């Protein structure tokens, strides 16, 4: 994985190395004519020799290029280096992957979650409307930029996409599981090929769960155990980890994680709107995606005062037997009983005397 800093290709000069991934390396770069700063992603040499990997990389570029949305990474150019490796250029972002934020901070406060999830719902809705299913949605593929009003996300890595009107070559073998195991839908975990936007809805909900709790919804030590949990188990309740989230949020999460896709929300928009309603907010995704976090927090608190939480379960009723009488009390009761018997007998005698 040689360092390409200082190389020139495709009208760009490669600058500092930013990051490495399994497929390629990312560098800061600059366009030679315009001077625009960009990110340059270059396939590793060993990956570039793999025809399937190279095609996935090209598809990632073509898909992202077609999806013009403020919450999806913007790509610029595609080309080949002097030694035959494919590269693409993208907008240069300052921030970090959502996975790093969750690892450092754990569960987030509701207002921050609301803003990010609204942006994610809008990004996915845009992709799905263009017939694109991401199939590998995860915190590693969500880049978070800091803005004056709060977080602003970009969805990354469309190399695993499924096109609803598939025209290009198939990039996976029959039965191959494609995607990150923690965020796979049950149908992906079973290796099914019938994947549609509701698989992304499942992953979207898994991320929603993790934003609230700081924990992966279906955690296990091995891939088979992870997949078995996804297919057959439910995650622990959100409120065990974070009581700042209302019970209504729990209901939304449970529906989004249904094992049968026909029982989930039908779209990313439906999930996003249900999430807003759970906090008592108007289901206006565009509005809350741009609203400053502090204003969202104020709106959530105001709504919580107007719509109280469901009542707590009734107090446990004791089944202890009644208190047994003491010795003195037993004596008093006995004396009263004798007196009553005497009075009754005396009354009967007076009535019956001639």
98, 153 contact by CB (below 8 A): yes
Cα dihedral 237→243→246→251 (10° resolution): 0
Q: Alpha-carbon dihedral of residues 334, 335, 339, 342, nearest 10 degrees?
A: 60
Report residue 193 CA to chain centroid gap. 23
What single-letter DSSP state applies at residue 254?
Answer: H
Active-site residue 32, yes or no?
A: no
DSSP state of 97: E
Residues 190 and 231: beta-carbon distance below 8 Å: yes
3-class secondary structure, 102: helix
* Residue from 86, 136, 157, 200 carrying the catalytic annotation: 136
User: How many of the other CB atoms lie within 10 Å of CB of 13?
Assistant: 16
Nearest to 38 by CA among 58, 59, 9, 66: 9
CB atoms within 10 A of CB 349: 9
* 133/62 Cα distance (integer angstroms): 14
Sheet of 86-91, strands arranged across: 8-9, 12-20, 24-31, 37-43, 86-91, 75-80
In this structure, how many other beta carbons lie within 10 angstroms of the beta carbon of residue 213? 23
Q: What are 49's two structure tokens?
A: 């020799």
79 phi and psi angles, rounded to 5 deg: -165, -165
Q: 317 near 136, Cβ under 8 Å? A: no
Q: Around 243, how many Cα atoms within 13 Å sit in the side-chain half-sphere?
A: 1
Tokens representing 138? 């995860």
Active site residues: 136
């Amino acid at each position: 994985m040689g360092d390409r800093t200082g190389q020139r290709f495709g009208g760009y000069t490669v600058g500092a190395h930013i990051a490495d991934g399994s497929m390629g390396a990312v560098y800061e770069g600059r366009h030679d004519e315009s001077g625009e700063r960009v990110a340059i992603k270059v396939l590793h040499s060993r990956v570039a020799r793999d025809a399937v990997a190279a095609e996935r990389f090209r598809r990632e570029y073509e898909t992202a290029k077609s999806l013009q949305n403020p919450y999806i990474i913007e790509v610029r150019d595609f080309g080949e280096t002097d030694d035959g490796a494919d590269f693409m250029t993208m907008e240069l972002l300052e921030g970090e992957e959502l996975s790093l934020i969750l690892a450092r901070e754990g569960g987030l406060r509701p207002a921050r979650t609301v803003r990010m999830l609204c942006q994610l719902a809008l990004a996915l809705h845009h992709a799905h409307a263009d017939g694109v299913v991401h199939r590998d949605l995860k915190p590693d593929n969500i880049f978070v930029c800091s803005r004056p009003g709060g977080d602003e996300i970009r969805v990354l890595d469309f190399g695993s996409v499924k096109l609803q009107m598939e025209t290009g070559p198939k990039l996976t073998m029959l039965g191959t599981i494609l995607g990150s195991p923690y965020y796979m839908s049950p149908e992906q975990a079973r290796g099914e090929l019938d994947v549609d936007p509701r698989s992304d809805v499942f992953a979207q909900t898994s991320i929603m769960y993790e934003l609230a709790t700081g924990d992966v919804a279906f955690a296990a030590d091995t891939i088979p155990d992870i997949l078995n949990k996804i297919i057959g188990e439910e995650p622990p309740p959100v409120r065990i980890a974070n009581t700042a989230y209302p019970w209504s949020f729990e209901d939304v999460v449970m529906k989004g994680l249904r094992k049968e896709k026909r029982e989930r929300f039908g779209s990313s928009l439906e999930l996003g709107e249900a999430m807003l309603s759970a906090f008592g907010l108007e289901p206006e995704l565009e509005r809350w995606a741009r609203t400053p976090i502090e204003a969202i927090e104020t709106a959530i608190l105001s709504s919580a005062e107007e719509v109280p939480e469901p009542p707590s379960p009734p107090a446990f009723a004791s089944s202890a037997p009644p208190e047994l009488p003491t010795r003195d009390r037993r004596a008093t009761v006995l004396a009263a009983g004798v007196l009553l018997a005497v009075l009754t007998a005396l009354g009967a005698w007076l009535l019956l005397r001639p």
